[in-house]
Amino acid sequence: MMSVKEYALDTNHSVAEILKKCGELGINAKNANDELSEDDIIILDNTINLISTDTDTTLDELDDIEEDVEELVQANNLDKNFGNNSSKKQKLKKKSQLQSSKDEYMSKRKEMYKHKEKLMSNKSSEDNVVLYKEGMTVQELAENLNVSGSELVKKLVSLGLMLSLSASIDFDTASLITMDYNKTLKKEETQDISNFEEYEINDSVENLTPRPPVVTIMGHVDHGKTTLLDTIRKSAIVDSEYGGITQAIGAYQVEKDGHKITFIDTPGHAAFTEMRARGASVTDIVVIIVAADDGVMPQTEEAIDHALAANVPIIVAVNKIDKPDANPEKIRTEMAEHNITPEEWGGNVPFVNISAKSGQGIDLLLETILAISEVQELKANPNRYALGTVIESKMDKNVGGVASLLIQNGTLRIGDPLVVGTTHGKVRTMKNDQGVSIVEAGPSTPVEITGLQGNPSAGDKFMAFETESEAKNVAEKRAIKAKNQKFSKQAISLDNLFASIDAGIKEINVIVKTDVRGSEEAVKNALDKIDVSGVKIKVIRSGIGTITESDVVLAQASSAIILGFCVRPSNSTKDMAKEYGVDIRLYTIIYKLVEDMEQAMKGVLDPEYEEKVIGTAQVRQLFKFSKVGTIAGVYVTDGLVRNGANARLIRDGIVVVESKIATLQREKDQVKEVKNGYECGLTLEKYSDIKVDDTIEVYEEVEIKRWIKSN
């Protein structure tokens, strides 16, 4: 369905013309905002002249004119270019192509509307489902199963569980009980359609069909990712008579041996770090590109971390193989050091030697992608309303919100109401990756749509609905939830670690950042030896240097804890971690780090001394005296500096020393504290190797009571 105004805009007519035609055809539409049904649209499509031509000269007539002109030119020895109508002919040909394309589009749209009712709703209609909510009691379960509480208590006793009617019952036990009554237990959050990120949709096998793989290419900025994408796009773009290579939607499809492959181009865009962590959730295969004449670089390591954390198949494209100083074996060795072992070395990662510039090895790379996708048996149900993810979005002053979407399941069509993030709308126009207008798109297809009332964020999920009112209601519910909590998925923390293990988690993801390489290896080895209740710790990223915002993004995407050893995050990183719900733990002693992890996993954490940063100061100048030592002239940038307080000296994000403020002086007077915005002089206890631009962080330790969260 669409309004008269939308239909007029879509068909290049005025609202008055459409209303007049509606009156002639007996269609009940009186103003611009009246809705047209699918039947109304089909009737209008069949009767309205959608393409108006403003020329009386046909191509055949132009050919005859050209022949006559040519004869006259030859007979009179005129300039051969005289009367050349090739420019006009080209314009007419282009117009003819556009008209043919438009006619084809309108024909497909009519066909789509005729079959619109065939799509399945995403809303669950199962009658034998019981919803489980956190903390559900035995009595509540009995009521949902329509049995007496005493009957349920007897069943629990037979299972060796002594629970009263008011006692909470865990999900696994409740599932066993529910199966005895031929019903299925599902968690409440998986059946709330407004929470469609977690919404559970079960497609029957007969409704599933193969879908193209979705591939993301990652790698260092100078290793040829853009060239590789361009080469693939030019050599294997899906043919289209009227479409060119006009891809500007962050994704495109290519075809190899009759099979399509969808490539996402998000890692090279402005929202690189944010979208890479989210992009992995829509990616079936990751291709990591490494230059054969260079080696593994920091961004390469970052790509490896995200791909491994996402648990998706990896292909390594060794680029620039045609250069004289190319050394593919060196690349294989360096990648193996990062747990990416080549197949020829007994690993499970295929390496493909390519030249993105010349095209060498591109066919083999595409064949490798198809071979892996065949093993994965990627399937989706094209016969339901669409679900997927936003790749990119922008605001256009003429059409409003424009979003590039990747359809992951179902089919999206013109006129479908949909919710994207917390905004909603209706698909008014839809184009494929070549800029060609289409009426519908199936699984693994990237499209650009208009019709949204807002501007969603890259990585937001979307779902199409049967009615506009349903979409509006879902969007309103999601907006309310978003106000209360920006991220529904939060990373795990030490405080709820025991509860997570109790709920069945078997692997704890952590990110380790240390001051030096030796510390990194020592911390990783210590963590690897921890084994509590069969649960292991998995280090998904480790490195030396300060904790960065990229670490926080990966932690949020992978439900990981960040462990810092003798390093400090910046204030902006701390703020980001707080916003994302990521737990950052900082240590200077390895055994304390290990002890905290073990005790958190056992659920017996000791009282914690919470560190409270009370101020920071930047070293501006140094004064050296033989009797006193080095006095640092500092400027207090935040909070206050207090005499005798704990202090740490930080240089380039690395903790140099833990100490205390030994003396504090302002002008010529000894003072107890100096507040933000003032300069002062200070010395550190038993340490004098201070340098200009060092940061001094002043903090207190406050004892807090620690609670173990449990279900």
Please say if the pLDDT value at position 618 is more than 90.
yes
Model confidence at 332, pLDDT cuts 50, 70, 90, reads very high
CA angle, 402 as apex, 397 and 404 as ends, to 5°?
A: 155
Q: Which residues contact 357 (CB under 8 A, 6 or more apart)?
A: 224, 227, 231, 320, 322
Distance CA 307, CA 384 (A): 30
Per-residue pLDDT at 488: 41
CA angle, 475 as apex, 470 and 477 as ends, to 5°?
A: 100
Burial environment of residue 149 by CB neighbours within 10 A (0 to 12, 13 to 18, 19 or more): middle
Cα 503 versus chain centre, distance: 26
Please say if the pLDDT value at position 683 is more than 60.
yes
Per-residue pLDDT at 707: 41
Burial environment of residue 472 by CB neighbours within 10 A (0 to 12, 13 to 18, 19 or more): middle
Please tell me what DSSP assigns to residue 254.
E
Model confidence at 124, pLDDT cuts 50, 70, 90, reads low
Cα 448 versus chain centre, distance: 17
Per-residue pLDDT at 54: 42
Tell me the mean pLDDT in the region 294-303.
Answer: 86
Please tell me what DSSP assigns to residue 71.
H
User: Which pLDDT tens digit goes with each residue over 514-533?
Assistant: 988 878 888 988 888 887 76
Distance CA 494, CA 208 (A): 41
Instruction: Count Cβ atoms below 10 Å from residue 618 Cβ, excluding itself.
Output: 15
Least confident among 19-28, 254-263, 423-432, 700-709: 700-709
Distance CA 136, CA 134 (A): 6
Q: Which residues contact 517 (CB under 8 A, 6 or more apart)?
A: 544
From residue 695, give the alpha-carbon distance in Å to each of 235, 438, 551, 625, 634: 53, 58, 22, 21, 9
**pTM of the entire structure?**
0.62
Strands 214-219, 400-409: parallel, antiparallel or unpaired by DSSP?
A: unpaired
Per-residue pLDDT at 503: 58
Model confidence at 380, pLDDT cuts 50, 70, 90, reads very high
Tell me the mean pLDDT in the region 606-620.
Answer: 81
CA angle, 469 as apex, 463 and 474 as ends, to 5°?
A: 45
Q: In whole numbers, what is the pLDDT of the chain averaged over residues?
A: 79
User: Which pLDDT tens digit goes with each residue over 1-30?
Assistant: 677 887 887 777 888 888 988 888 888 888
Tell me the mean pLDDT in the region 567-589.
Answer: 88
Per-residue pLDDT at 480: 75
Per-residue pLDDT at 353: 96
From residue 588, give the alpha-carbon distance in Å to each of 183, 203, 585: 53, 51, 11
Q: Specify whether the CB–CB gap between 53 and 96 falls below 8 A.
A: no
Residue type, position 353, single letter: N
Q: Which residues contact 122 (CB under 8 A, 6 or more apart)?
A: 193, 196, 199, 201, 384, 385, 387, 410, 463, 464, 465
Please say if the pLDDT value at position 50 is more than 90.
no
From residue 566, give the alpha-carbon distance in Å to each of 28, 517, 547, 656: 73, 12, 11, 8
Q: Which of the listed ranges 188-192, 342-346, 522-526 does the model predict with the highest average pLDDT? A: 342-346
Give me the phi and psi of 466, to 5 degrees please. Answer: -75, -40
Please say if the pLDDT value at position 210 is more than 90.
yes
Model confidence at 601, pLDDT cuts 50, 70, 90, reads confident
Per-residue pLDDT at 163: 82
Please say if the pLDDT value at position 427 is more than 50.
yes
